[in-house]
Amino acid sequence: MKKKTAVLVIHGIGEQESFETLDAFAKPFSDLYCELAGKKYQNVSIQKKHALVQFPGWAESCVSLKSGAEDLPDIDIYEYYWAYLAEREITAAEVTDWIFKVVAGAKGFYEGKEKTNRTGKNDVLFSQDGEFRSLKYLVWILSFGNILRFAGLFLSQHLPESVKKLASAALKGPLVDAFGDVALYTSSDMKSKYFEVRSKILNGAVEKLTFLMKNGSYDEIILAGHSLGTVIAYDSLARLNTQMNVDLAPPDKARRITGLVTFGSPLDKIAFFFDEKIDRDRQPVRSAITSQLHGFKKVNVDTQALDNGVGDYFKHVKWLNFWSERDPVSGHLDVYRDLENIKMDFSKLTVNPIKTHSMYWQSMNMYKRIIDDFQLV
């Protein structure tokens, strides 16, 4: 029986427009797919077309790849476009505060030896002999936002609020464009005014993924994300797994989700946002519950006070993580288990860390690994 595959791609930070993500992924992927299929099936042609699929209450565009070969799967590629939900919802001053909290939080997280199996050999930009180099990370993250020249903004952290607001107003565009989406989405505190926006973004991804999973025409679903999109993809699977534990989503359909592909992922670096600072000795039950709720494929899930009663419906999912040591956002993911970290070398194409973060979209080596590992040809 002919297999049918759905690929759902989630974009990351930046000024995104609808169908840009679909274009960036579908064009190189489909070109390589047709090339590889043509070598194996000499007399088979693959039709690439714009198709419309009926979702609950709306029609969704996808790029559809169809062939006449029975053992060559038909593939529909979708995007999850969420940028409009976060448009200008956060201020430059708040992003500035967030950047300093990121560096402080990352330093504290990586110093927690019991929570990670980092060796210090993988993430060469920001660790040395197993120690997280917070100052270098701060410099790199500011360079990524192209805002190092605005030193006054960061000096204003120690000046009156009025000075800080003036500096922030002048930098609203570049600062918010670079980090606003990440700062907003990583608001894990339910009391935060941005938690509602984060919930809308995540709920939209879960809704789309759930529909594809329930859709009887798809035999397998591969979830792919870039940059912040990898966090949304990860959170979507974690949320869906939770829903399956309480019969809000059909657990019998779980095996249709077969793959998670992350590229340029900051999951390790922002893991601490959803790993609340809880004193295990004073609040052992709270610590265990929080760890288990956010424990999808985590290396260490807290079971000291409570056995883990949250079933793992996605333990079968194959996870490929593509990263580059010149990419200040991505990294070798060590906080998670059951995944393959694939190191990418873009040094012959660029040494610019900002450009490096976007090079994955153009990497035929990455698309080849996806096609091979999920046996799409």
**Calpha distance 63→21 (Å, rounded):** 12
Where is average pLDDT lowest: 10-19, 56-65, 236-245, 356-365?
10-19
Highest mean pLDDT among 21-25, 69-73, 130-134, 247-251: 21-25
The chain-wide mean pLDDT, for the chain, equals: 79
> For residue 243, which of 347, 313, 329, 325 has the smallest C-alpha distance?
313
Residue 57 and residue 40: Cα distance in Å, rounded?
Answer: 40
Between β-strands 74-80 and 58-67, what pairing exists: parallel, antiparallel or unpaired? Answer: antiparallel
| Residue entry with tokens 């204003």 | 156
Q: Which residues of 114-129 are buried (b: 16+ CB within 10 A; e: fewer)?
A: ebbebeeebbebbbee
- For residue 108, what pLDDT is reported? 60
Q: How many CB atoms lie within 10 A of CB 144?
A: 18
Least confident of 115-129, 155-169, 190-204: 115-129
CATH of domain 4-86+204-373: 3.40.50
Given a cut of 70, is residue 85 above it in pLDDT?
yes
Which phi and psi angles does 325 have, rounded to 5°?
Answer: -70, -15
Other CB atoms within 10 Å distance of the CB of residue 92:
24
Mean pLDDT along residues 332-360? 89
Of 70-74, 84-88, 188-192, 360-364, the range with the highest mean pLDDT is 360-364
**pLDDT given at position 254:** 92
For the chain, the three-class secondary structure string (H helix, E strand, C coil) is CCCEEEEEEECCCCCCCCCHHHHHHHHHHHHHHHHHHHHHCCCCCEEEEEEEEEECCEEEEEEEEEECCCCCCEEEEEEECCHHHHCCCCCHHHHHHHHHHHHHHHHHHHHCHHHCCCCCCCCCCCEECCEECHHHHHHHHHHHCCCCCCHHHHHHHHCCHHHHHHHHHHCHHHHHHHHHHHHHHCCCCCCCCCHHHHHHHHHHHHHHHHHHHHCCCCCEEEEEEECHHHHHHHHHHHHHHHHHHCCCCCHHHHHHEEEEEEECCCCCCCHHHHCCCCCCCCCHHHHHHHHHHCCCCECCCCCCCCCCCCCCCCCCCEEEEEECCCCCCCCCCCCECCCEEEECCCCCCCCCHHHHCCHHHHCHHHHHHHHHHCCCC
User: Quick check: 115 pLDDT over 50?
Assistant: no
Provide the residue ranges of all domains of the chain, joining segments of one domain with +. 4-86+204-373, 92-185
Confidence check: pLDDT of 331 > 60? yes
Whether the CA torsion 250, 253, 256, 260 is positive or negative: it is positive
Closest by CA to 233, choosing from 376, 90, 75, 21, is: 21
- Rounded Cα gap, residues 360 and 365, in angstroms: 9
Look at residue 155 in the predicted model and tell me its pLDDT.
43
**pLDDT tens digits along 277-314:** 567 788 888 878 877 877 788 888 888 888 988 889 99
**Confidence tier at 24 by pLDDT (50, 70, 90):** very high
Question: pTM of the prediction?
Answer: 0.81
With 60 as the cut, is the pLDDT of residue 185 above it?
yes
Alpha-carbon gap, residue 336 to 332, rounded angstroms: 10
